[in-house]
Amino acid sequence: MHLPNDIEILKGKVQKILNPVRPTEKKGTKTEESFVCSAKRTNAGRKLPPYYLIYFLFVDLLGYENLGRFEKIAWAVPIDCNGTVYFLEHRKMGMGLFATNRDYQEDECLEIVKKIKKAIKVAHPYFEWFANNSAKRSKLNVLNYSERLYGRYEFLLTEHKKKIEEAISWKNETQHSDNLWNAYKLKRESEWLALSAIDAFYGFTEHIFILASILRGQLLTGEDVANLADKNWASKFKECLDIEDNTVKLYYDKLITIKRQIRNYMAHGAFGKNGEAFQIHSGAGAVPLLMPHQKGSSRFSMRGGTEFREEEAISAIEEFMRFYWDSSNFPEVLYIKSRLPCILTYASNSTYKNAITSIDNMRRLVDHLTGIHDRAGDMDW
């Protein structure tokens, strides 16, 4: 990485704000492990900004010493303030400012935290530069939110089915007008839930298609991931699955039609699907003006294309989920279900490429990374 030309000017501004906080002298300053571990967390330190901003500010930008890892400590940076040594540490219980005699040092710690907050605001251009340069490389994780997104889809789908059953029950009870009205209301609510479940499905699959593309070695840098994230659902599907395969193509054709006629209808103010928002004035009365196509010279029509009812759409979506998400034919799904982040370094060095050749290989990689992830989370070095 090449630092920006004005980095020294920025460093000078930051250090001026931090003054009298400065690096500790390496000679005559007691920074051994026993001293680090005996320091106590201060109340002031609980108001510090996120740990990574503090690390980049002091270690990367200003060049302060990082003492490394200790038991339950990820990193420790000693600082000097008016001749007293303090420690900025990222421990198992979070980021903190630590002192050897906190009862007498709390006031000074408050001042240190205030200065750090101001310094981080001034150093904002450095963080932006660092983030933009990092995105061009493969030393990145892409977080895996599949469980949460799938949970939303599954919840809405379950509630939709419950409403349908309840509506049928009311309708079959008697033909009393109250029962029919209750059945109608429940049916309408089931349709709303179906629309929400469909929307949740497309949000969920957009996410997992990106993760799968990383695992397949098609996305190697942060910019690659961001570029695909900016594209539409169809592009993400095609990046993940081969639509030259006849089976995959059948699923794609159904799902892209559902997306256009149902999901887009809901997302764009009801000006889609069956064209409910338009009517033509004519001698025959008000007749529907449909929007079967999003673009092109034949964007409007008086006849719709293939129209999906919500129930048909839900059925097609469930079919695809059984084919892809619930089957054991796609090793990348095993990894995504593990909730592990996707590590772009492993995409670029063929770790994922080797693992995706079989379910067994992928399971071994998942088990290995899960162990590392658990130990790191516990700071069990």
Do 201 and 259 lie in one domain? The reply is: yes
Q: What percent of the chain has pLDDT over 70?
A: 83
Residue 269 identity: G
For residues 219, 223, 227, 228, the Cα torsion angle rounded to the nearest 10 degrees is: 30
Dihedral class, residue 25 (left if φ above 0, else alpha if ψ from -120 to 50, else beta)? beta
pLDDT average, residue stretch 205-229: 95
Domain range enclosing 365: 142-377
Do 362 and 247 lie in one domain? The reply is: yes
* pLDDT given at position 114: 97
Query: Residue 220's pLDDT band (boundaries 50, 70, 90)?
Result: very high
- The reply to whether the predicted model has a pTM over 0.75 is yes
Do 283 and 343 lie in one domain? The reply is: yes
pLDDT in tens, 255-301: 998 888 776 655 555 555 454 567 778 777 777 776 655 555 556 66
Strand boundaries in the chain, DSSP class E:
21-23, 40-41, 73-81, 84-91, 94-99, 141-142, 279-280, 287-288, 342-343
Q: List all residues 6 or more positions away from 145 whose beta carbon is below 8 Å from its beta carbon.
A: 207
What SS3 class is residue 34? helix
pLDDT average, residue stretch 224-246: 95
* pLDDT given at position 380: 63
Do 240 and 319 lie in one domain? The reply is: yes
* pLDDT given at position 237: 97
Do 156 and 124 lie in one domain? The reply is: no
Per the model's pLDDT, the better-predicted residue between 181 and 4 turns out to be: 181
pLDDT in tens, 18-71: 999 999 876 544 445 556 667 789 999 999 999 999 999 999 999 999 998 887
Residue 377 identity: G
Separation of alpha carbons 88 and 75, rounded Å: 8
pLDDT in tens, 114-163: 999 999 999 999 999 988 888 888 888 999 999 999 999 999 999 999 99
* DSSP count for the chain of H helices, then E strands: 16, 9
For residue 54, what are the CA distances in angstroms to 6, 30, 59, 304?
A: 21, 22, 8, 58
Separation of alpha carbons 114 and 167, rounded Å: 60
Q: List all residues 6 or more positions away from 246 whose beta carbon is below 8 Å from its beta carbon.
A: none
Do 147 and 109 lie in one domain? The reply is: no
Looking at every residue in the chain, the average pLDDT score rounds to 86
1 in any annotated domain: no
Tell me: pLDDT of 306 over 50.
Answer: no
* pLDDT given at position 316: 95
Contact 204, 152 (CB under 8 A): yes
Nearest to 225, CA basis, from 201, 202, 207, 237 = 207
Do 122 and 250 lie in one domain? The reply is: no
Per the model's pLDDT, the better-predicted residue between 181 and 145 turns out to be: 145
Number of domains in the chain: 2
Do 130 and 146 lie in one domain? The reply is: no
For residue 143, what are the CA distances in angstroms to 122, 336, 365, 368?
A: 28, 10, 17, 18
